[in-house]
Chain A
Amino acid sequence: MSQSVVYKHYLRALSKWPKDALRPECRFEDVMQKRIERKFNPSKNVPDGKPAGAVTINEKAEMDQVNAIYSLINNRYTKQYPLGSSFMKPTSNPTHYKDLVRELEEAPNRSWFSSMLNKWKGSLRLS
């Protein structure tokens, strides 16, 4: 069943899922990969030689799942319901989202010392 269209779509869709550097132990694409291997290639994952039960794959349901993955990677909902600058540059802190994204990108690459320094700097509020 590994040649099925749905399986191929799954692989393609999951390969396009954005990589998360901050949470390497809990990745959506990895867990979904395990799931589709379990469903589409059950014989591969049976180590003790039990006869693999015929897992009936509901093609339509799986197609819906893949369709949902594609809709997420193609940003369908952001395009349908855009958030303007009144929201993304909020009055109380216009650089909130920019600062957050920068912080999340820098965090995995910090050494222990510089992350401690950052923590102490953050606990001092001068305003």
Chain B
Amino acid sequence: MASKTCGSCLRAIQRQSRTIPQVRSSNVEHRSELTLFQIRKATFPTVRTFATTPRKSIELPEPNATVASSIPPVTPKRAEGGTKTPEPLSAAEKSAHAAAFQNRKVGGITETYTAYGATELLYKECSRQADYSIPQAKQDNAEVPKTEDGEDLGVGGGWWHDELGLKPTFSTWSQVTMLHIYILSSRFRCFEPDVCRIWQQHLLDHFFYDMENKMAVSHGMHARGTRNKYLKDVFVQWRGVLAAYDEGLAKNDAVLAGALWRNVFKASEDVDIVKLAMIVSFMRRTLNKLDAMDDMMIMQAKLEFSSPDMEKELVAKKSKALEDTRPTQVKVKQGKK
């Protein structure tokens, strides 16, 4: 997870801190300490200064912190003195950059760095679809409204909340985001095996980092254990979503609709089947369009999802089966099965 420092970094810090001389009052001892330090410096010529904070003093964002992403930005601001502002890139420079990116060699050692930045942008596009916020989280001692099932209820807009009628909660957001991440992830499956693994892993990592951030900032879960418990649950959900939607793609529309019904609508009896069909259509159209796109276009992360609203007409088209008015041979199922 985001807040752990790796073991080798910790050992390096501990080794380095042992070589820093202790300042003592006596001159003699001071001199011998210095000599010792010089000897140590000779044996460890590559003493590096680390800026990493040791594990114990990592701070979580304050309860009143802004909901900033916990992911460090890909292009951080340069910490320069003075009032120099970086000049914006000219059009020629921009097209040169784009051309260089287009002609880059996919794969290799630096693929993971390219993938990290690009998947951050792609992930942000996925997560903004059903984004929500909890204004009470920033206020002291404000009561967060709950849904009937006891979940924190936030505020949010977009097609998924307004027209589909889903409540702006963490679970809605995570399910809708998982749907969009699934779409991208299955497109990544068409890359080369080693490239595919890197891109899928980074996309998923961004999602989990952001989820943990939301839990800590918007839902007041300051205990790492509680957050980890929910993250494990969501991981199991993600694996289920992967298998279910893959099954739906491989089989037929009805199976995909069933998978969506179980996951996004939580198997509710009052699902609007027209909207369900619109989401199926949206998934298939998006995948069809992504399949037609070049790999490089996707790696540049200049993608925007459309809305399932565009599928209204296709779903509303009258099926031929409705004109078939032969008497049905079906018996009504008696009782609960």
Identify the A interface with B (CB < 8 A): 5, 8-9, 11-13, 15, 17-18, 20, 23, 26-28, 30-35, 37, 63-78, 80-84, 86-88, 90-93, 96-98, 100-101, 104
Contact = CB atoms under 8 A, between A and B. Distances in A.
B281 A77 contact: yes
Grouping DSSP codes into helix (H, G, I), strand (E, B) and loop, the A interface class, with mixed when no group exceeds half, is: helix
A5 to B, nearest CB: 7
Interface string B240-262: 00010011011111110110011
A48 B197 CA distance: 59
B330 A12 contact: yes
A12 B288 contact: no
Given A5-B325, A28-B258, A31-B269, A75 B243 contact: no
A80 B285 CA distance: 8
Cβ-closest 10 pairs across A and B: A70-B319, A81-B288, A92-B196, A90-B189, A97-B250, A68-B277, A81-B284, A92-B193, A68-B273, A77-B281
Nearest to B286: A81
B321 interface: yes
B287 A13 contact: no
A97 to B, nearest CB: 4
B262 A26 contact: yes
B250 A82 contact: no
B255 A18 contact: yes
14 contacts: A12-B328, A30-B336, A30-B337, A34-B336, A35-B269, A65-B274, A81-B281, A83-B284, A84-B291, A91-B189, A92-B195, A92-B197, A97-B250, A98-B250
Interface stretch (B86-94, B119-127, B162-170, B310-318): B310-318
B21 to A, nearest CB: 49
B280 A9 contact: no
B253 A91 contact: no
B189 A96 contact: yes
B322 A83 contact: no
A31 B319 CA distance: 23
Given A30-B333, A88-B249, 7 more contacts: A30-B337, A67-B318, A72-B273, A77-B253, A80-B285, A91-B190, A91-B196
Contacts of A96: 189, 246
A28 B330 contact: no
B233 interface: no
B2 interface: no
